């Protein structure tokens, strides 16, 4: 999910880059910036929050579907490309492949939609209301993007210092997205998928950070809240949405945790 972060990450854990990996990555990034061509912001930071980006700024009915088709094709090509780079860069390729876990989930739901849940319950709402979700969380997404830049540029040794803020910002973003989604797409289906994606992302990132050998065994509280998705279950997100008018947001969150 967080490609830019992952690239710097390979450097963190001292795996070598290679011309082959860079070629795969460049093709992927170029393809994605073309798919998301109407994006206003800089694509390299938009990579950090792809779903945010996928849902923002589209106004034609077909746009989201078309973006999914092209993004998923690029995702498949990118994975094949990385896998073909050979054994000497296997570890770096593996890190980049893990960064695609979120896309793998999205594309799997989109194409292997046997009970038509994605097509009938999730996609129609994201097509009409997805831009509202993205708009509401654009501040949180921006904060997250700058936090990622800080984490990466701080280097390996400062990971534990940066981690509490990083987890807090990511948790804020995930919570914002979950709530906004529950608000405008109040079906269990979309909520469950968003929460699952947040779960996949937090676990992937922690797995990767763990490889730096710099993570301490007791994670900061903000990281535990994030990984446990405190207050983010689909029922609490929906309950929050119902209670929204009765209590200030923070109070409502405390009430359902
Ligand atoms: C669909 O499911 C099959 C079998 O689980 C999997 O191999 C394939 O990658 C999935 N397709 C997509 C687009 O995720
Ligand atoms: C979009 O959100 C509105 C409320 O903001 C809701 O009434 C409507 O049902 C939603 N659209 C879909 C397709 O769920």
The dihedral sign for the CA sequence 118, 5, 151, 38 = negative
User: Based on C-alpha coordinates, what's the Rg of the chain?
Assistant: 18
Reduced to 3 states (helix: H, G, I; strand: E, B; else coil), residue 177 is helix
- Provide mean pLDDT across the span 28-32: 83
Instruction: Give the number of the atom of ligand 2 that is nearest the alpha carbon of residue 124.
Output: 13
DSSP-assigned letters across all residues of 102-150: HHHHHHHHHH--TT-HIIIIIHHHHHHHHHHHHHHTHHHHHHHHHHHHH
- CA-to-CA dists, residue 220 to 88, 151, 152, 164, 169, angstroms: 35, 15, 18, 6, 13
pLDDT, residue 79, reads 95
Higher-scoring residue by pLDDT: 75, 248: 75
pLDDT, residue 119, reads 93
Reduced to 3 states (helix: H, G, I; strand: E, B; else coil), residue 47 is coil
Q: Which of 15-24, 40-49, 76-85 has the lowest mean pLDDT?
A: 40-49
Instruction: Give the number of the atom of ligand 1 that is nearest the alpha carbon of residue 111.
Output: 13
Confidence of residue 244 (pLDDT cuts 50, 70, 90): very low
Q: Which of 11-20, 70-79, 91-100, 137-146 has the lowest mean pLDDT?
A: 11-20
Instruction: Note whether 76 and 44 are within 8 A (CB).
Output: no
Average pLDDT, the chain: 78
pLDDT, residue 218, reads 85
pLDDT at 54 over 60: yes
Q: Which residue's structure tokens are 């995702």?
A: 75
Which distant-in-sequence residues (6+ apart) come within 8 Å of 159 by Cβ?
151, 209, 212, 214, 215
CA distance 220 to 218: 7
Confidence of residue 43 (pLDDT cuts 50, 70, 90): very low
- Provide mean pLDDT across the span 13-37: 75
pLDDT, residue 41, reads 43
List the alpha helices (DSSP H) in the chain: 3-12, 19-35, 43-46, 50-55, 61-83, 90-98, 101-111, 117, 123-136, 138-154, 159-184, 188-210, 221-227, 234-243, 249-256
Question: What proportion of the chain, given as a percentage, has pLDDT over 90?
Answer: 25
What's the residue count for the chain? Answer: 257
Ligand nearest to the CA of 129: 2
Could you give the maximum distance between any two Cα atoms of the chain, in Å?
Answer: 58
Q: What is the pTM of this model?
A: 0.81
Structure tokens at 143: 């904060």
Higher-scoring residue by pLDDT: 36, 157: 157
pLDDT, residue 47, reads 58
Residue 104 Cα to ligand 1 middle (Å): 9
| Ligand 1 site, residue 64, Cβ cutoff 6 A | no
Ligand nearest to the CA of 79: 1
Residue 14 Cα to ligand 2 middle (Å): 48
Using most ligand atoms within 8 A of CB, pick from 72, 105, 111 the residue to mutate for ligand 1. Answer: 111
Q: What is the pLDDT of residues 199-239, one digit of tens each?
A: 888 888 888 888 877 788 888 898 888 888 887 765 655 55
CA distance 142 to 40: 13
pLDDT, residue 210, reads 82
């Amino acid at each position: 999910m967080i490609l830019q972060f992952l690239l710097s990450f390979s450097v963190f854990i001292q795996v070598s880059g290679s011309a082959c990996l860079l070629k795969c990555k460049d093709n992927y990034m170029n393809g994605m910036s073309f798919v998301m061509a109407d994006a206003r912001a800089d694509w390299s930071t938009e990579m950090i929050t792809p779903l945010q980006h996928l849902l923002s700024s589209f106004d034609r009915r077909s746009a989201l579907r078309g973006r999914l088709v092209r993004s998923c094709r690029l995702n498949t090509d990118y994975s094949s490309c990385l896998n073909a780079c050979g054994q000497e860069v296997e570890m770096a390729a593996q890190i980049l492949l893990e960064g695609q876990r979120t896309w793998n989930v999205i594309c799997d739901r989109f194409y292997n939609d046997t009970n038509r849940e994605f097509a009938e319950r999730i996609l129609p709402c994201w097509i009409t209301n997805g831009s509202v979700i993205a708009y509401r969380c654009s501040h949180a997404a921006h904060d997250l993007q700058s936090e990622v830049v800080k984490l990466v540029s701080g280097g390996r040794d400062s990971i534990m210092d940066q981690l509490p803020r990083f987890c807090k910002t990511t948790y804020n973003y995930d919570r914002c997205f979950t709530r906004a989604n529950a608000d405008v797409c109040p079906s269990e289906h979309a909520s469950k998928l968003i929460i699952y994606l947040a779960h996949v992302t937090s676990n992937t990132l922690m797995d990767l950070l763990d490889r730096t050998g710099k993570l301490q065994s007791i994670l900061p509280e903000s990281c535990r809240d994030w990984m446990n998705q405190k207050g983010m279950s689909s029922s609490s997100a929906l309950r929050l949405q119902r209670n929204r008018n009765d209590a200030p947001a923070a109070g409502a969150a405390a009430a359902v945790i």
